[in-house]
Structure 1
Amino acid sequence: MNQIVATETKIPARAATPHRAATQQRVALLIDTATTWGAGLIEGIADYAKANRRNWLFSFEPRGKYDRLLLPDGWRGDGVIARITHPGLAEQLIKRKMPAVNVSWFRYGGNIIPRCSCDEAAAAQMAARYFFDNGYRQFAYCASTLRPSYHDRLGDAFAEEIARSGFPCERFDPDHDRFEKLDSEQQLGELSRWLEGLPRPIALLAFDTIQGRQVTEACSQSGLSVPDDIAVLGGEHDELCSRISSPQLSGVDQSPQEVGARAAEMLDQLMAGQTLKDSNVGLPPKRIITRLSTDKVAIQDDMLAAAILFIRRHFANELRIRDILHEIPLSRRALEIGFRRHLGRTPRDEIRRIRVQKAQELLCDTDWPITRIATACGFDRPELLTRAFRRELKATPSEFRRRVTQGLAKR
């Protein structure tokens, strides 16, 4: 299927409506409700409307991720936020001159329909850095076998990021026309044979958690251990797919609530007759949600790997270098040299990195005050947590929490 190439004028924004807070507007949400991504988008949209006192009446129905969504012929409303995954929906919205925002990685609608989604390159870079930080130097990517018309920018960006560090990246990306003719067992067998031929240990990024779960199933069929032989990370986290995978899958949290809030803000401006400053918005992912599928340190030196695991298990304590040396039979010099050689940082840097990583999780998943989070992550004082955050993330803990939990809903 060909994408719509936009050579015409953008859909005109509607004339501004006075007293928008009191005027009810109908907004169609053509978004799946079966995934963490889709549910998060809808939640972010609803949060924006509530925080900004928009009297929006939402039109949406329970939908699956791969349902072919279209506006009902008789639907009359004021705006649409949609995952535009096929050209028919883009053509329909353009024909109706309906204010709309696309929240999909597909580019259907060209520069006619504004788009807001997670930045694919940023997600790929986060995944690559996560693997590097865990000591991996062999990499692979498994593309989606369910999206024949999608240009896989996530996979391209991941391979480019790996190549910039001087490493190759194996890739599973079969011909879609041939692959879809195979039954599910034949498809699983082909994936298994590819996995068996990979060097080990290896870090594998799958397009999303659905594809990642297929990888873990294929690994089980082939007698490959996850994560000992192959560490598997999903490019788009989905909670259900993660939980039913064996082992549970790690994934990239693509900030669906923040994307939904920004898309709602963009649609709000279009329905008010305003011109968007940026009609192609890519927001950064929030974090890596770590589960058992990547719970491994890929370092051949057993003593050094044991030192890293010791840090991960005891980061919340008053941890000093001498505590590590008391448990691991290494000299301080050998420990320092090993960390720099394999990870490019010192043991003290690793302690700080792990503590900040845990603090990020608590800032996203709890409403704990900063003082409690600092204590839970091994910092004697909140000021030390703030200093570590600024060094690692160029932001304070409060700034990070506002950015990732509130998004743009309260703008």
Structure 2
Amino acid sequence: MPELKRVMLLIESSRAYGRGCLLGAAAYIRSHGRWSVVHVERGLADEVPRFLRNWKGDGILARIENRRIADEIAEIGVPVVDLRGSHRPLHGAMLDTDPRLTSTLAAESFLDTGFRNFAYIGYPGVDFSDYRCDAYCEYLNSRGMDVSVYAPPQSRQQKSDVLAWESRGELEGDAIAEWLQSLPRPAAVFACNDVRGRQVIDACSRSDLSVPEEIAVIGVDDDEVICELSNPPLSSVQPDTLRLGYEGAALLDAMMDGHLAPSETVYIPPKGVSRRLSSEATAVNDREVAAAMRLIRDHACEGVTVQDLVQRLNVSRSTLERRFHAVFGRSPAMEIERVRMSRAKMLLIGTRYKLSKIAATTGYGTASQFATAFKRHTGFTPGKFRSQTQISP
């Protein structure tokens, strides 16, 4: 029987992101690994435990917040996989949530509900915040939209530590409120993480801006506690932390067996947007069109048809199609397919599901029907699209 591998888990349990990574690692250990695990309760930026300097182990799975922690871990001299995506371990590997897909999901969620005024608020100088800002602006610019980016007070622009930024952000309410008041409304605000999103909602209450009718907000991380502490509750992009922890553990296992670490960061797609009240506005004056869009968004992948919409809304098909096209520039049928295809792309990128399962999940009857619709919509077969875009484990 092979010997137990001694593994240190330096992953914070103070927030949902870290706990999700730990659960993903636990799933891998149960199914594959003979590991003896050491895990110490900690926050993201806590010091490396003193006993680690004398620890005799085989590998470390970590979320490395700063260079100091990275250097201390490097001195141990064992394979390291980092799940934070900021500081590459010496001779180690990095995984992270894909910032491009994260920002695209937020933008598409706002576009789906008719918003045309967009804004971003983050922590300048913090890597993940800057990545998401760049990706959000680039995507919306490619769609012909401008983005207003919040610039904090000058005295607060030098911090690169996210925890310091979050703490000082609690004192920025007046500055954020002034910025929000300057935006054309209704405005769709994408926040770099859930803490920043909660700070935006708090600033709205300071300046009598209604959420989501005047300011809609989406954060990132889907931390239920932080999201529910917001009033109204915060919508958030949900990272696939279980997969992140699982894939990270699998990669560490391979490295402990002598395999080389990948030279590039491995990006894991997010799972989707967890919708709560902070973004549940439809920036459309036509009530029937807004209701149709909500029904499509919620039920397109369950096989909803235009006739279902007509019956639910008690309007004629010609009237709904004319008014829908006037607002969105496309028909309800086109929107149903667009929502289905958006979900299908995420499944092709982020899973290894067979086409039959993707077809069933997205409202198509058979794999053949799905493949025909996908090629008509994208110009690619599902297999070709998957081979060009899927992230290798």
| TM-score bracket for the superposition, by shorter chain length | 0.7 to 0.9
Return closer, same or farther for 1:222/1:263 CA change in 2, 3 Å cut-off.
same
TM-superposed CA distance for 1:292, in Å, is: 1.2
Instruction: State the distance in 2 between where 1:314 and 1:289 align.
Output: 15
Q: Which aligned pairs between 1:147-166 and structure 2 lie closer than 5 A?
A: 152-166=130-144
For residues 165-180 of structure 1, the aligned pairs below 5 Å read: 165-174=143-152, 177-178=155-156
Aligned to 2:113: 134
Q: Which residue among 194, 200, 205 is the counterpart of 2:179?
A: 194
Structure 1 position 258, deviation (Å): 0.5
1:190-269 matches, cutoff 5 A? 190-269=175-254
Residues 78-137 of structure 1: CA deviation (Å, up to 9, x unaligned): 11111111111111222332210111132354x743101111112111211221122111
Normalised TM-score (structure 1): 0.76
Equivalence for 1:39? 19
CA, structure 1 residues 277+32, in 2 after alignment: closer, same or farther (shift >3 Å)?
Answer: closer
Q: In structure 1, how many angstroms separate the alpha carbons of the residues matched to 2:367 and 2:37?
A: 45
**1:84–1:341 Cα change, 3 Å:** farther
Alpha-carbon contact 1:119-1:284 (below 8 Å) kept: yes
The residue correspondences of 1:388-403 to structure 2 (distance < 5 A) are 391=374
Question: Following TM superposition, by how much is the alpha carbon of 1:143 offset from its aligned partner in structure 2, in angstroms?
Answer: 0.1
Counterpart residue type for residue 285 of structure 1: P
Q: SS of the residue aligned with 1:73? A: helix
Q: Please tell me the root mean square deviation across aligned C-alpha atoms, in Å.
A: 3.8
Q: Percent identity?
A: 30
**Pair 336,388 (structure 1): closer, same or farther in 2 beyond 3 Å:** farther
Q: Please give the alpha-carbon distance, in whole angstroms, between the structure 2 residues aligned to 1:296 and 1:151.
A: 25
TM-score, scaled relative to structure 2: 0.79
Residue 115 (1) aligns with residue 94 (2): yes
SS at match of 1:232: strand
After superposition, the Cα gap between the structure-2 partners of 1:356 and 1:141, relative to the gap in structure 1 and judged at 3 Å, is same
Flag structure 1 segments of 5+ consecutive residues without an equivalent.
Answer: 1-18, 365-369
Distance 1:168 1:158 in 2: 10
Q: Is the 8 A contact 1:251 1:288 kept in 2?
A: yes
Residue by residue over 1:24-82, the C-alpha shift from the partner in whole angstroms, topping out at 9 and shown as x without a partner, is: 12211111102111011011111111111x12122112223443445633222111111
Q: Which residue of 2 aligns with 1:286?
A: 271
Distance 2:345 2:127 in 1: 36
Contact 2:44-2:64 at 8 Å conserved across structures: no
Distance in 1 between residues matched to 2:188 and 2:66, nearest whole Å: 32
Deviation at 1:196, TM superposition (A): 1.6
Helix, strand or coil at the partner of 1:264: helix
Contact 1:140–1:202 (8 Å) recurs in 2: yes
Q: How many residues align?
A: 367
Give distance in 2, aligned partners of 1:389 and 1:220.
49
Contact 1:205–1:234, Cα closer than 8 Å, also in 2: yes
Over 3 Å counting, the alpha-carbon distance change for 1:249 and 1:358 in structure 2 is farther
Cα deviation code 1:301-334 (max 9, x no counterpart): 3442243345567779996535544665866445
- Equivalent residue, structure 2, for 1:6: none
User: How far apart are residue 142 of structure 1 and its match?
Assistant: 1.1
The aligned residue for residue 23 of structure 1 is 3
Equivalent runs, 1:300-339 vs 2, <5 Å? 300-309=285-294, 311=296, 320-322=305-307, 324-325=309-310, 332-339=317-324
Partners of 1:127 and 1:206 in 2: how far apart?
Answer: 9
* Displacement of 1:232: 0.7
Q: What is the alpha-carbon distance in structure 1 between the residues aligned to residue 282 and residue 121 of structure 2?
A: 21
Q: Give, as a single letter, the amino acid of the residue that structure 1 aligns with 2:152.
A: P
Pair 389,113 (structure 1): closer, same or farther in 2 beyond 3 Å: farther
The question of whether the paired residues in 1 share the 8 Å contact of 2:116 and 2:145 is answered with yes
Larger proportion of helix: 2
Higher relative contact order (CA 8 A, sep 6+): 1
**Which AA in structure 2 matches 1:117?**
D
What's 1:96 paired with? 76
1:296 is matched with 281
Q: 1:203 aligns to what SS in structure 2? A: strand
Structure 1's 70 and 149: CA in aligned 2 closer, same or farther, altered over 3 A? farther
Q: Helix, strand or coil for the counterpart of 1:96?
A: coil
